[in-house]
Amino acid sequence: EVEASSAAEALRAAAAGADIVLLDNFTPQGLRAAAAAVKAAHPGVTVEASGGITPETLPHFLGPHVDVVSMGCLTHGAPALDFALRV
């Protein structure tokens, strides 16, 4: 997996043999364009979207060329559970 911050980086990573290209911190429009370019040139590459995506903004990042979406907010805001094991 290779993280890319531009469409050009994503295409270079796919051309170099990356199985997964993670498009990080893209705008929804930029993500869709970059994902389409990667899939057009390398249809077998998995395209992952990440970076600032929340449940509220998720629909804007979905598209036919995006295979996986990672949302750090699912773990960043998880509350801690305080427990103890007494034997």
Confidence of residue 79 (pLDDT cuts 50, 70, 90): confident
pLDDT attached to residue 1: 94
Judged against a pLDDT cut of 90, whether residue 29 lies above it is answered with yes
Query: Helix, strand, or coil here: 84?
Result: coil
Give 40-75 pLDDT, tens digit per residue: 999 999 999 999 899 999 999 999 999 999 988 777
The DSSP output letter for 24 is E
Packing angle, helices 7-15 and 28-41, rounded to 10: 20
In order of their start, the domains of the chain are 2-74 (3.20.20.70)
Run of H or E residues at 59: helix 58-61
Confidence of residue 82 (pLDDT cuts 50, 70, 90): confident
Give 11-26 pLDDT, tens digit per residue: 999 999 999 999 999 9
The rounded distance, in Å, linking the Cα atoms of 68 and 82 is 32
